[in-house]
Structure 1
Amino acid sequence: MSELGRVLRLDARRAALLVAVPLLTGIGIVFVWLSLVPGVAYWDNSVVALINAVRLLGPVAAGLAAWAAVRERGLNYLRDLSPRSPATGALFDLLLLAGAAVFAYGTVTAVVTVETVLRQEAGRPSPLGFLAGAAALVLHVVIGYLAARLVPRPATAAAVMVATWSWAALRVPGASWWSLLPPAVLDHVEPFTVLRGRVLADQTLWALAVTAVLILAYVGWVTRRVVVAVPLVVALAGTGSATARLHASDGSAAAPAPVALACREWPLRVCVHPALRSALPALMAAATPLATRLSGTPGGFTQVVQRPAVEPVAVAGGTASIHLDGRLSPGYVERAVRQIKDALTDSRACQGDAGAWGPLPGTPGTSDPGTTALESGRGPGVIGPSRRLEYRAVVDAWLLGGPRPAISDQRTAQRFEAWSEEQKRYWLRTNYGRYRGCALGPGDFRPVVAPRPAEAPRPSPRPVRPDTGHLPAGGLPAGGSA
C-alpha cells in the first residue's frame, strides 16, 4: 500500500496539469470572446461559440496529453512495483488530464455565461451544448494520450496536434453531415432558428462512445482480458447509432422556431427578435421619417416587424416587414429602411411595363423641356425606362433622406427639391400609383398646393333691433328666432 500511495502522489504532481489548465482556459476565453457576435446576446450563438472552441482547444489538449504521456513514462518502473493492473496507471493519467481539460472548459463556459447574461440574453441556454463540447474535448485528450502510449516519442505530440487540427479545419459548416461529427463545425444561428437538441445529444453520444471504444480497446490490449469485449461491442454500437442519426440530419444543426418579439411602441411600433433588441432605437429613428412621408398613401405603415429570412419583405395593412442579419453588421439600419422602400415598388410594372417605350399619360407634349425629343431620344412626349427610373430615384432620395441624385433632368429634380415637406407629402399621395409603377415623368412634377383644412363655421351673431341696432333688453323676445 505504501508503494501505491507513493505512485498516486507522484501521479498527481504533474507539470502537465499545471500547464494545461491555465493554457486551455486562456486560449478558450480568447477564442470564444472573438467568436461572440458583438451587440447580440443569443444563447444559441453562445453555445455555438463554445462548441467551435473545441476545434482549437482539442488539438492543444491532445498535444498536452501526448506530451504528458511521453514525459511521465519514467514512472512506469514504479507502477510495475505496485500490485495494480497495468492499465490502472494509464486510466489514472487519463482521469487527471481529462479532469483538467473539463475544468478549463467549465471556466470558459462560466465566462461566456456571465457575458451573455449581462447583455440581456435571449433564448434558453442548452446544457447539451456544454456536454457536447466537453465530451469532444475529452476525446481529444484520450486520442493524444493513447497515441503517445503506443508511440512514446516526442514527435508524437506534434503529430497528434497536426492530425486533430487538420480534422477540424478541413470541414465547412453546414456543407454535409461530416461537419457535425465532433469537434463540430457550426455556423452562427440566425434569428428565428434554434439549435436542434437531438443533434447536440447525438454529438455527445458519438464523442463518449468513441472515447469508450479507444479506452476499452487499450485496456483489452494491455490486460489481454476477453471480458472487455462486451462493453467494447456496446460502445461500438453506440458509435454506429450516433453516426447514423447525425447522417440523417443532413448537416443542419438549426431548425425554425417561433419567437416572441421584443417591441417599442412609440412613435411607431417596431418589433425585432429578442436577441437583436439593441437595434430598436436605431430602427425607430430611421423608420419614423419614412413612415411620416408615406402617411396617407396606400404604402403607409405604423408598424415595423422583423420576419424570418424565408418570408418576403412587404408593406401591407399598415405593417412593414423587414429582414435583419443575426449579427447587426454595419449598415443594417440603412438596409432595413431600403427594404421597406423597395417593397413599395410594383416589381412587375417596373421591370415589364415601365421597360417599354411609350407616351406617358398626361404628358404636356413638348411644352415641358423634360419631354423634348433631344432628351428622350424617341420624339416629343415619349420617355424611356431609364428616365422613368431616374424620376423615381428623385422621390426615393427624399423618402430615405438622402442627397439629390444626379439625373439628366436636373431642372425637374431641383423643382421637386424646392417644394416644402408638406407639398411633397401631398404630391406623393396624389401620384403614389405612378410612383409605385415606375411611371413618373417630368409632367408629373407640377407645383402643388396642399388643401387647407376646412375652418369651423363661426357662430351666428346675436340679433339686433333694426331701429336702434341694440339687442332688446331681455334678449330675444319670446318665440323669436335668430
Structure 2
Amino acid sequence: RRAGAAAGGPRGGRCRGSRCPPGAPPVSDLGRVLRLDARRTALLVAVPVLTAVGTAAALPGLCLSAAYWDNTVVALVNAVRFLGPVAAALAAWAAVRERPLDYLRDLTARSPATGALLDLLLLSSAALVSYTAVTALVVAVTLAQAEAGHPHPLGVIAGAGALVLHVVVGYLTGRVVPHRATAALAFGATAMWAALRIPGVSWWSLLPPAAFPRIDLFTTLRPRVFADQAAWTAGLTAALILGYVLWATRRFLLVLPLAAALAATGAATLGLQGSDPAAVRAAPAPQACRHWPVTVCVHPALRDALPRLMAAVVPLAARLNGTPGEFTQVRQRPGWAPVSVADGVAFVHLDEDLSPGYAARAARQISRALKDPRACAAGSSAGYPALVDAWLLDDEPPSIADARAARRFASWTERGRRAWLRRHFTRYRTCSLGPADFRPVRAGKHRSTKHARRGTFDRTAPPT
C-alpha cells in the first residue's frame, strides 16, 4: 500500500488479478504510468517526423503555375506512398517498446487486447494529425494561386485511410514479432508494396497507397475510385484489427465481422479493377477570357497566362487579318484535341507549368496549323514559308537559298507585306511559293475588301 501511495495510486490500493503476488504494489497504476511514458516518447517523435516527410513528398507534386484541385488531391494521395512506410516503422518501433509492459497488463482485469487497441488509437491519431497538417499546407498553397476545379473530400479520406492502414500493419507486426529489427522490416515491406505502384500502368496502381499520374486540365478523377479506395482500406484495417483481437482473446464470435470486413475488401478490389480504364474522365470547364483586341480564353487554372498569350497572338492575328486564315478568337484546347484554325477561331495547346516561352509556342502552333500538312510534306518550297513565318511570329528571318527574294521581302513595309500575304495566302498555305511570288507590291493595291475588317485591331479602342 505504501508503494502504491508513492506511485500515485489510491490509499489502500490493491492488485487486481489472481496472479498478483502477496504484498506487491498496485501494478495496474504503475503500469498505466509506464505505458503513458512510453507512448509520450513515440508520439513526440511521430508527429514532427511524419509531418516533415509528408510535406516533402506532397509539395513537389504540385505545379505552382496551375493550381488544379485534382492535382492537389493526387499529390496528397501519392504522398502516402512515402509517408506510409515511415508511419509503419514508427508504429512497429512503438509496439516493440510497449512489449515489455505486457506482464503488467496481464495483471489487470481488462482484456488482453485493450492495451494494444489503445496504442493503435493513439498512434493513428498522431499519424492523422500529421496528415491534417500536410493537407492544410497543400490546400493553402493551392488557395494562394488561381485555383480551378473542385476538391475531392473522398480523396483526402482515402489517403488518410491508407495512412492508418500502414500504422496498423506496422504496430501489429511489432506485437507479433517483438524484435529490434521489426521496425526496419515493417519499413522495407511497406516501401516495397508502395514501390510496386507505377502511375497509369494498370489497376494495380489504384490499390492503396495509390499512385495516380498527373491529371491534365479538362479532365478529372471519378469519385468512385476514391470511394473504392476508402472502402478497401477500411475493410482491410478492420480485418487486421479483428484478426488480432480474435487471436489475443479467442472470442470466435468475431469471425463473422472478420468475414464481413474481408468481403468488403474483396468487393472494393473488384471495383478498383473495373474502374481502371475509366479512372479519369473529361471535365469541361468554363474558361477564363480576355476580349480585347482579340478574344483569348484559357482554362481557369491558367488565367495568369492571359497577358503574355494576348501579347503573342495579337500581332499574328493582325497580320492574318483579311486572309482565309484570319482569326479573332484564341481558345485553349485539351491535349488530346488537335490544334486548328477555322471559322475565325484558333485552338491551341498550353503548357500546364507555363514554362518560359509558352506564349511563343502557342503562336507557332497557329502558324503551323495554317498550312496544309500533306501539301507541305510533298512539295519543296526552298524555305519561302519559313521566311513568311519569321515575319508572322516576329522571329529572326532565316537564311534561304534565294537571297534576292529575302532582301526584297525584308524591304517591304508592314502594310505591303500584309497586302502581299492576302494575295499569296493559298500558295503560302500549300508551301508552293516561288521566286516569282516575291515581286514588288505597292501598299494597298491588292487590299481585299471582302475579308478586311476595320477597327478589329484598333489598339486605341477601349477594352471591354
Q: 1:299 aligns with which of 325, 336, 358?
A: 325
Structure 1 window deviating more from structure 2 (294-303 vs 324-333): it is 324-333
Cα shift at 1:337: 1.2
1:391 alignment counterpart: 384
The one-letter code sitting in structure 2 at the alignment partner of 1:337 is: A
Alpha-carbon separation, structure 2, partners of 1:251 and 1:441 = 51
Matched, 1:439 2:463: no
Q: 1:183 aligns with which of 209, 215, 221?
A: 209
2:6 alignment counterpart: none
1:422 alignment counterpart: 415
2:189 alignment counterpart: 163
SS at match of 2:324: coil
CA contact (8 A) 1:101 1:138 kept: yes
Alpha-carbon separation, structure 1, partners of 2:321 and 2:278 = 43
Alpha-carbon separation, structure 2, partners of 1:160 and 1:389 = 66
SS at match of 1:324: coil
CA contact (8 A) 1:178 1:251 kept: no
Task: Decide whether aligned partners of structure 1 residues 389 and 17 sit closer, same or farther in structure 2, where only a CA change above 3 A counts.
Answer: farther
2:396 alignment counterpart: 403
Q: 2:137 aligns with which of 101, 111, 118?
A: 111
Alpha-carbon separation, structure 1, partners of 2:224 and 2:82 = 24
2:3 alignment counterpart: none
Cα shift at 1:343: 0.8
Cα shift at 1:326: 2.9
CA contact (8 A) 2:76 2:156 kept: yes
Alpha-carbon separation, structure 2, partners of 1:326 and 1:45 = 12
Alignment of 1:21-170 (within 5 A): 21-170=47-196
CA contact (8 A) 1:190 1:325 kept: no
Cα shift at 1:325: 3.5
Alpha-carbon separation, structure 1, partners of 2:110 and 2:419 = 93
- Residues 188-207 of structure 1 deviation map (CA, whole Å, 9 limit, x = unaligned): 11010011100011111111
Q: 1:195 aligns with which of 221, 224, 238?
A: 221
Structure 1 window deviating more from structure 2 (28-37 vs 324-333): it is 324-333
- Residues 426-477 of structure 1 deviation map (CA, whole Å, 9 limit, x = unaligned): 11011000000110011101111122799xxxxxxxxxxxxxxxxxxxxxxx
TM-score w.r.t. the length of structure 2 is 0.88
Cα shift at 1:314: 0.8
Task: Decide whether aligned partners of structure 1 residues 8 and 342 sit closer, same or farther in structure 2, where only a CA change above 3 A counts.
Answer: farther
The one-letter code sitting in structure 1 at the alignment partner of 2:79 is: A
1:261 alignment counterpart: 287
Alpha-carbon separation, structure 1, partners of 2:171 and 2:206 = 24
Alpha-carbon separation, structure 1, partners of 2:325 and 2:199 = 40
Q: 2:308 aligns with which of 282, 288, 310?
A: 282
1:213 alignment counterpart: 239
CA contact (8 A) 2:420 2:446 kept: no
SS at match of 1:271: strand
Cα shift at 1:309: 1.9
Alpha-carbon separation, structure 2, partners of 1:6 and 1:276 = 61
Cα shift at 1:31: 2.1
Alpha-carbon separation, structure 2, partners of 1:86 and 1:148 = 16
Matched, 1:234 2:260: yes
The one-letter code sitting in structure 1 at the alignment partner of 2:324 is: P
Percent identity of the aligned residues? 58
TM-score w.r.t. the length of structure 1 is 0.84
Alpha-carbon separation, structure 1, partners of 2:118 and 2:35 = 8
The one-letter code sitting in structure 2 at the alignment partner of 1:448 is: V
Alpha-carbon separation, structure 2, partners of 1:5 and 1:56 = 39
Q: 2:35 aligns with which of 11, 14, 17?
A: 11
The one-letter code sitting in structure 1 at the alignment partner of 2:35 is: D
1:172 alignment counterpart: 198
SS at match of 1:39: coil
- Residues 188-241 of structure 1 deviation map (CA, whole Å, 9 limit, x = unaligned): 110100111000111111111111111111111111111110110110110110
Structure 1 window deviating more from structure 2 (307-316 vs 320-329): it is 320-329
SS at match of 2:383: helix
CA contact (8 A) 2:419 2:445 kept: no
The one-letter code sitting in structure 1 at the alignment partner of 2:156 is: F
SS at match of 1:38: coil
Unmatched runs of 5 consecutive residues or more in structure 2: 1-15, 17-25, 448-464
Alpha-carbon separation, structure 2, partners of 1:61 and 1:257 = 35
SS at match of 1:305: strand
2:251 alignment counterpart: 225
Cα shift at 1:90: 0.9
The one-letter code sitting in structure 2 at the alignment partner of 1:207 is: T
CA contact (8 A) 2:423 2:446 kept: no
Cα shift at 1:6: 5.1
Task: Decide whether aligned partners of structure 1 residues 408 and 453 sit closer, same or farther in structure 2, where only a CA change above 3 A counts.
Answer: closer
CA contact (8 A) 1:67 1:157 kept: yes
Alpha-carbon separation, structure 2, partners of 1:317 and 1:268 = 14
Alpha-carbon separation, structure 1, partners of 2:307 and 2:288 = 12
SS at match of 1:213: helix
Task: Decide whether aligned partners of structure 1 residues 8 and 445 sit closer, same or farther in structure 2, where only a CA change above 3 A counts.
Answer: farther
Kindly report structure 1 stretches of 4+ aligned residues shifted beyond 4 Å.
1-9
Count of aligned pairs between the two proteins: 421
Q: 1:336 aligns with which of 359, 362, 371?
A: 362
- Residues 69-124 of structure 1 deviation map (CA, whole Å, 9 limit, x = unaligned): 11221221221111111111111111110110011000111111111112121111
- Larger-Rg structure: 1
Structure 1 window deviating more from structure 2 (54-63 vs 273-282): it is 273-282
Alpha-carbon separation, structure 1, partners of 2:275 and 2:352 = 23
- Residues 104-162 of structure 1 deviation map (CA, whole Å, 9 limit, x = unaligned): 00011111111111212111111111101000000000111111111111111111111
Cα shift at 1:268: 1.5
SS at match of 1:194: strand
CA RMSD of superposed structures (Å): 1.7
Q: 1:247 aligns with which of 252, 273, 276?
A: 273
